[in-house]
Structure 1
Amino acid sequence: MNNLFNLIIIMLLLTLNVACVEKKSQPKEISNSEIVTRFKTNTLKFTSGIRAILQDSKGNYWFGSQKEGVSYYDGKAYQYFTQTDGLPDNQIRSIQEDPDRNIWFRTANGISMYNGVTFTNFSTEPNTPKLEWKATAENLWFSAGEKEGIHLYDGTNMNYLSIPKPKNENTNNSYGTTGISKDKNGNVWIATYSALFYFDGSSITNFDKRKLALKDNEKLHIRSVLADSKGQIWIGNNGIGVLLYNGESTINFSEKKGLIHTNSSGNGDLSPAGTLEHVFTIAEDSHGNIWFGDRDTGAWKYDGTSMINYTIDDKLTTSMIWCIYNDNENNLLFGMADGGVYKFNGKSFTKEF
Structure 2
Amino acid sequence: MQKSNLISQIFVVLLVITLVTSCKGQSASENEKTLPEHPKKEASQIGEYIVEIFEDSQGNLWFGTLEKGVAKYDGASLKYYTTEDGLPSNRVVSMEEDQDGNLWFGTGAGISKYDGKTFINFTKSDGLCEDSISNLLIDKAGILWIGTWNGVCTFDDTTFTKVTIPRPAIKTPLNKGTENWVTALFEDSKGRIWISRDGYGITRYDGRTYAHFTKTDGLASNNVQTVQEDAQGHLWFGSRVGEKDNPDPEKRQGSGGLNNYDGTKVTSFPNLDGLHHNDVYQIYKDAKENLWISTINKGIYTYDGERFTNYPVLDPITKNPKAVMTFLEDRNGTLWIGCAGGLFKLTSEGVVNITTEGPWD
Under a length normalisation based on structure 2, what TM-score does the superposition of the two structures give? 0.71
**What is the rounded CA distance, in whole Å, between the counterparts of 2:229 and 2:153 in structure 1?**
20
Match of 1:185 in 2: 190
The AA in structure 1 aligned to 2:215 is K
Match for residue 320 of structure 1?
323
Matched AA of 1:242:
L
Cα distance in 1 for partners of 2:206, 2:236 equals 17
Segment of structure 1 superposing worse, 164-173 or 275-284: 164-173
Rounded to whole Å, the distance in 1 between the matches of 2:306 and 2:293 is: 15
Measured after TM superposition, the shift of residue 223 of structure 1 is 1.7
| Matched letter for residue 159 of structure 1 | T
Deviation readout 1:24-67 (Å, 9 max, x if unpaired): xxxxxxxxxxxxxxxxx997752312111111111111111122
**Cα distance 1:324–1:276, how it changes in 2: closer, same or farther (>3 A)?**
farther
Aligned residue identity for 2:272:
L
After TM superposition, list the pairs within 5 Å mapping 1:28-43 onto structure 2: none
Alignment match, 1:202:
208
Select which of 226, 245, 251 maps to 2:261: 245
Contact 1:50 1:65 in 2 (8 A): yes
1:292 Cα shift? 0.7
Aligned to 1:34: none
Note the residue ranges of structure 1 that are not aligned, 5 or more in a row.
1-40, 128-134, 261-272
Given candidates 135, 141, 151, the residue that maps to 1:137 is 141
- SS of 2:342's partner is coil
Matched-pair contact (CA < 8 Å) for 2:93–2:107? yes
Indicate how the Cα distance of structure 1 residues 274 and 99 shifts in structure 2: closer, same or farther if over 3 A, else same. Answer: closer
Q: Show the counterpart of 2:304.
A: 303
Higher relative contact order (CA 8 A, sep 6+): 2
**Which residue of the partner structure matches residue 357 of structure 2?**
none
> Match for 1:151 among 137, 148, 153?
153
CA distance in 2, matches of 1:42, 1:77: 15
After superposition, the Cα gap between the structure-2 partners of 1:54 and 1:274, relative to the gap in structure 1 and judged at 3 Å, is closer
Q: Which amino acid aligns with 1:278?
A: D
* Structure 1 Cα separation of the partners of residues 293 and 66 of structure 2: 20
> Which one of 216, 220, 223 corresponds to residue 222 of structure 2?
220
RMSD, aligned CA: 2.7
Match of 2:33 in 1: none
Residues 152, 43 of structure 1: alpha-carbon distance in 2 compared, 3 angstrom cutoff: farther
Q: Deviation digits for residues 241-300 of structure 1, max 9, x if unmatched?
A: 111111111122x21xx136xxxxxxxxxxxx7867210111112222211111121111
How many Å separate the matches in 2 of 1:201 and 1:274? 32
Q: 3-state SS of the aligned residue for 1:117?
A: coil
How far apart are the structure 1 equivalents of 2:166 and 2:309?
38
Structure 1 position 126, deviation (Å): 2.4
SS of the equivalent of 2:93 reads strand
Q: Which whole-Å deviations, capped at 9, do the CAs of 1:151-193 have from their partners, x for residues lacking one? A: 3221322333122212577673524111122212222212222
Q: How many angstroms apart in 1 are the aligned matches of 2:95 and 2:278?
A: 26
Structure 1 residues 184, 100: closer, same or farther in 2, change over 3 A? same
What is the aligned partner in structure 2 of residue 55 from structure 1? Answer: 55
The question of whether the paired residues in 2 share the 8 Å contact of 1:42 and 1:77 is answered with: no
What does residue 97 of structure 1 align with? Answer: 97
TM-score, normalised with respect to structure 1:
0.72
| Deviations, residues 130-151 of structure 1 (Å, cap 9, x unaligned) | xxxxx7621122221x21x223
How far does residue 328 in structure 1 lie from its aligned partner after superposition?
Answer: 2.6
Partner of 2:113: 113
Work out the CA distance in 1 between the residues paired with 2:320 and 2:304: 28
**1:234 counterpart residue number:** 236
CA deviation after TM superposition for structure 1 residue 322, in Å: 1.0
Give the Cα–Cα distance (whole angstroms) in 1 for the partners of residues 277 and 348 of structure 2: 21
Equivalent AA in structure 1 for residue 167 of structure 2: K
* Corresponding residue number in structure 1 for 2:123: 123
**Corresponding residue pairs, total:** 284
Unpaired segments ≥5 residues, structure 2: 1-40, 131-138, 242-255, 355-359
Where 1:84 maps in the other structure, the secondary structure is: helix
Alpha carbons 1:143, 1:177 under 8 Å: kept: yes
Sort the Cα spacing of 1:199 and 1:96 in 2 relative to 1 into closer, same or farther, 3 A: same
Q: Deviations over 1:107-146 (max 9, x none)?
A: 122111111122111125528xxxxxxx7621122221x2
1:339 aligns with 2:342: yes
Query: Does the aligned pair in 2 maintain the 1:242–1:276 contact within 8 Å?
Result: no
Q: 1:213 to 1:313 in 2, by over 3 A?
A: closer
User: Quick one: distance in 1 between partners of 2:330 and 2:213?
Assistant: 31
Give yes or no for contact 2:54–2:61 (8 Å, CA) kept in 1.
Answer: yes
> 1:81-103: per-residue Cα shift (whole Å, max 9, x none)?
11222222211111111111111
For residue 289 of structure 1, what is the amino acid of its counterpart? N
Whole-Å separation in 2 of the counterparts to 1:168 and 1:231: 27
Name the CA distance, whole Å, in 1 between partners of 2:349 and 2:261: 29
Runs of 4+ in structure 1 displaced over 3 angstroms? 41-45, 167-171, 273-276, 350-353
Residue type matched to 1:94 in 2?
Answer: S
